[in-house]
Structure 1
Amino acid sequence: MDVETLIGEARRVRQKAYAPYSGFLVGAALLGADGKIYTGCNVENASFGAGICAERSAFVRAVSEGEREFLAIAIVGGKRGERTSLPCPPCGICRQFMREFCDPESFRIILESPQEGRDIFLLKELLPMSFGPAQLGT
């Protein structure tokens, strides 16, 4: 897996985000087990709860194209017109969404970190003691 390619795709799609209220643009690039990259951006809504995060946007796109197994996701976020100054970790809902499709022991979450280049975490580090399909007996 080429980390730089994933980060580059996340940066690219970040520019397509629809964030007229917060001005906070997020892009995500999701690597499927098939080697294909699926991208997504955040889309806000005047009814704030109706928006969708970039990470879930990428997953929904991938699932709609038939992919069910994933290796990694790169996430880049920040205010419109500003350089990214802090990593943009996934929210709790996105972490749980990732858990549905990803192995917490191996799925990597790559966050652009301008000071240090990037931070890479395993899903299990960002969502310890997670609830998954096994708890439902599947």
Structure 2
Amino acid sequence: MSAEPDFDALFAAASAVQRRAYAPYSRFRVGAALLADDGAVYAGCNVENAAYPVGTCAEAGAIAAMIGAGAKAIRAVLVFGEGPELVTPCGACRQRIREFAMPETPIVIAGPEGIRARFTLDALLPASFGPANLPR
């Protein structure tokens, strides 16, 4: 990776989309923004459903937007959530991120007050299974 990603832009995108999350059941709104290999920022929010298993995480929405736009790789991720605990990607989203990111990809956790923690994908999903494990 070259220069430090613009986490201010990711923060702005994630905090804006977090306010639009559809969370009538949990009332727990999450926004995510990622910087893709094309230099664009893609954002997503959680979208709940009365049949809980069919809801969508914010990170999944951002990844879908990135793929839909034609980008292929994640350079950085910022997850925005509220509350006293860090809102890190769930296990399924860590694996979703792994599909398009490298182990050293930064994953930044933020809340209304700003950036709260920084991780690499490898720190959140060590010894991960990814595309290189499968023949193409």
Match of 1:36 in 2: 40
Q: How far 1:118 moved relative to its partner?
A: 2.5
Counterparts of 1:79-118 in structure 2, within 5 Å, are 84-104=83-103, 106-112=104-110, 117-118=115-116
1:128 pairs, out of 122, 126, 133, with 126
Deviations along 1:60-92, one digit per CA (max 9) or x if unpaired, are: 1110111111100111113xxxxx433210000
Separation of aligned partners in 1, 2:28 and 2:129:
29
Alignment match, 1:119:
117
Please list every run of 5 or more consecutive structure 1 residues that lacks an aligned counterpart in the other structure: 79-83
Measured against aligned partners, the alpha-carbon deviations of 1:18-58 in whole angstroms (never above 9, x if no partner) come to 00000000000110112100000000000000000000100
Structure 2 SS opposite 1:35: coil
TM-score computed with the length of structure 1 as normaliser: 0.89
2: CA distance between counterparts of 1:49 and 1:97?
Answer: 16
Query: How does the TM-score come out when normalised to structure 2?
Result: 0.90
Q: Which runs of 5+ in 2 are unaligned?
A: none
Count of matched residue pairs? 132
The 1-side partners of 2:36 and 2:113 are apart by 28
Match of 2:31 in 1: 27
1:70 aligns with one of 60, 71, 74: 74
